[in-house]
A and B are shown apart, each in its own frame.
Chain A
Amino acid sequence: MSDGAADPDDELVRRAGEGDQAAVQALVARKLRRVLALAERMLGDPAEAQDVAQETFFKVWRHAPRWRPGVARFDTWLHRVALNLCYDRLRRRRERPTAEPPELADPGPAPDRGLLAADVGRRVRAALQALPPRQREAIVLCHYQELGNIEAAGAMGVSVEALESLLSRGRRALRAALADLA
């Protein structure tokens, strides 16, 4: 691990791999919400996000018995697994062009300042889904998952400079899409 600090998840993963049900429940409580949120923001589809979250944890259970502390941070590995599953689904969407895309909010006419938070949420969701996947991934990891740049770059398999470029372009595109809400 890059910073040498102990991974707070190592012990839970080890015990979960041994079938310790208390550790299993604690790991799910600690990580499921984050994984589901990542998948939902990447895919824009709550049902697909649930499938990805479930598959992610199934992979965790398969790997937990052989998890070796110190090789990688579990959280980074977990994000990588979830992102790969998201990209699998995004690829399948592109390969099935006749399939209905997930329902996205209709931006509609320019809103006034009294726009409800839920409406703003739908607008942001639509704007995120309109981003190229890599820019969306950078925004989701850094803004929503609150990963540091180094960890986000590690999860994406890119340099920190490349991550920052993706973040900059993504944020620029979001500003343009949401300019009427400024």
Chain B
Amino acid sequence: MTDDRLDNLLAAYAAAEPGADLRTRIIAAAPRQRTIGRAWRWLAGAALGVGLAGSGAAGVAAGVSLAPAGVSHLIGAPDGVSSLADPAGDAANG
């Protein structure tokens, strides 16, 4: 028997095609992306950011309220008055 004839005979043994059930079982067992974990991590990060921002703002407010008068003046001077004292003006007004 020639090699070609043997090869032709071997080709007559066709293997079965995979069925849908087998494919489904295999795909169902595959790794999944951890989307729930990622969502929680996003929320945790966002919450931390908001918390830090809030803490920062609170810190600034506390600092302003505790600051000496001169500094407070610089930070929150009333409308119409320059934040810098005008020695000539102060002297003229007595």
The stretch among B16-24, B62-70, B72-80, B82-90 that forms the contact with chain A is B16-24
Q: Looking at chain A, what size class is its interface with the partner chain?
A: 35 or more
A19 to B32, CA, bound (A): 4
Task: Confirm or deny: B6 has a beta carbon within 8 angstroms of a beta carbon on chain A.
Answer: yes
* Interface core residue of B7, B26, B29, B32 (most chain A CB under 10 Å): B26
Interface of A, secondary structure class, is helix
| Contact assessment for B13 and A124 in the assembled complex, using a CB-CB cutoff below 8 Å | yes
| Contact assessment for A124 and B9 in the assembled complex, using a CB-CB cutoff below 8 Å | yes
- Shortest A43–chain B CB gap in Å is 11
Nearest chain-A residue to B2 (Cβ)?
A: A182
| Contact assessment for A32 and B15 in the assembled complex, using a CB-CB cutoff below 8 Å | no
- Shortest B58–chain A CB gap in Å is 41
| Contact assessment for A175 and B6 in the assembled complex, using a CB-CB cutoff below 8 Å | yes
Which one of A50, A53, A57, A182 lies within 8 Å of B1 (CB-CB)? A182
A16 to B68, CA, bound (A): 63
The stretch among A34-42, A69-77, A83-91, A150-158 that forms the contact with chain B is A34-42
| Contact assessment for A57 and B26 in the assembled complex, using a CB-CB cutoff below 8 Å | yes
| Contact assessment for A28 and B1 in the assembled complex, using a CB-CB cutoff below 8 Å | no
Task: Confirm or deny: B33 has a beta carbon within 8 angstroms of a beta carbon on chain A.
Answer: yes
| Contact assessment for B22 and A54 in the assembled complex, using a CB-CB cutoff below 8 Å | yes
Q: Interface 1/0s, chain A 138-172, versus B by CB < 8 A?
A: 01000110000000000000000000000000010
| Contact assessment for B15 and A37 in the assembled complex, using a CB-CB cutoff below 8 Å | yes
Q: A33-B17, A36-B15, A41-B13 given as contacts; is B6 within 8 A of A24 (CB)?
A: no
| Contact assessment for A32 and B26 in the assembled complex, using a CB-CB cutoff below 8 Å | yes
Which one of A21, A61, A120, A143 lies within 8 Å of B29 (CB-CB)? A61
Which one of B5, B25, B33 lies within 8 Å of A54 (CB-CB)? B25
- Shortest B3–chain A CB gap in Å is 8
Which one of A24, A125, A179 lies within 8 Å of B27 (CB-CB)? A24
Between A and B, 23 residue pairs with Cβ closer than 8 Å are A18-B33, A19-B30, A19-B32, A21-B27, A24-B27, A28-B27, A32-B18, A32-B22, A33-B17, A40-B16, A41-B13, A41-B15, A50-B18, A50-B22, A54-B26, A57-B26, A61-B30, A117-B12, A144-B10, A171-B3, A178-B1, A178-B6, A182-B5
